[in-house]
Amino acid sequence: MHTPPIDAADFLHEVRDVNQWSEKMRAPLEAIYGKEDFKKTWEGWVDALAKIYQEENGDLCKTDLDKISCRTLIIHGNKDPLVPREHPDYLHSKIKGSQHQWLFEELGRFGRPQADRQQLPSKEQCRSCYTTAQEKEHPLEHQ
């Protein structure tokens, strides 16, 4: 079932207050950054995105995606509660030569226990992915 997209400004307003998040969502980040530092950092990040959104008429750098020329691997968890699947799909469609290889069924944003049970890509698989993308874009350099 596909849910309609939410307006970015509304979304940012909804997620800004980390006290409204579930303990499961907050705990991993609070453990890394500390409760107050995480709250302050998150609010600053959301405020910066909201300002860009407002000043750029809703364009959160979408017009610059085609300027990305470095190798890009897009990884997304299917159970990520903050970023819908459309986002990595859109990035992949706009970043030339990007790879969008792995969508972990059980991996959310911070779900390390689930990630530990997944067969995550090895460094060799990531290198192979990048090499394949380079060969497609510049085949003569790889002969």
Domain span at residue 68 reads 64-143
Would you say 118 and 104 are in contact if contact means Cβ atoms under 8 Å apart? yes
Q: Determine the Cα–Cα distance for residues 115 and 105; give it in Å rounded to an integer.
A: 10
Domain match, 82 and 46 both: no
Mean pLDDT of 107-117: 45
Domain match, 79 and 141 both: yes
Following CA atoms 80, 88, 76, 102 in sequence, which dihedral angle do they give, to the nearest 10 degrees?
A: 140
Q: How many domains, the chain?
A: 2
Domain match, 56 and 82 both: no
Domain match, 123 and 56 both: no
Among 60, 75, 103, give the residue marking a domain's end: 60
Would you say 28 and 109 are in contact if contact means Cβ atoms under 8 Å apart? no
pLDDT in tens, 44-95: 999 998 898 888 887 878 888 999 989 898 888 777 777 778 888 899 999 9
Domain match, 44 and 69 both: no
- How many angstroms from the chain centroid is the CA of residue 116? 19
Among 60, 80, 97, give the residue marking a domain's end: 60
Q: How confident is the model at residue 11 (pLDDT cuts 50, 70, 90)?
A: confident
Domain match, 31 and 1 both: yes
Q: Determine the Cα–Cα distance for residues 128 and 122; give it in Å rounded to an integer.
A: 10
- How many angstroms from the chain centroid is the CA of residue 55? 22
pTM: 0.55
Domain match, 32 and 96 both: no
Domain match, 81 and 106 both: yes
Between CA 34 and CA 46, with CA 40 as vertex, the angle to 5 degrees is 125
What's the residue count for the chain?
A: 143
In which residue are the tokens 């510049």 written?
Answer: 138
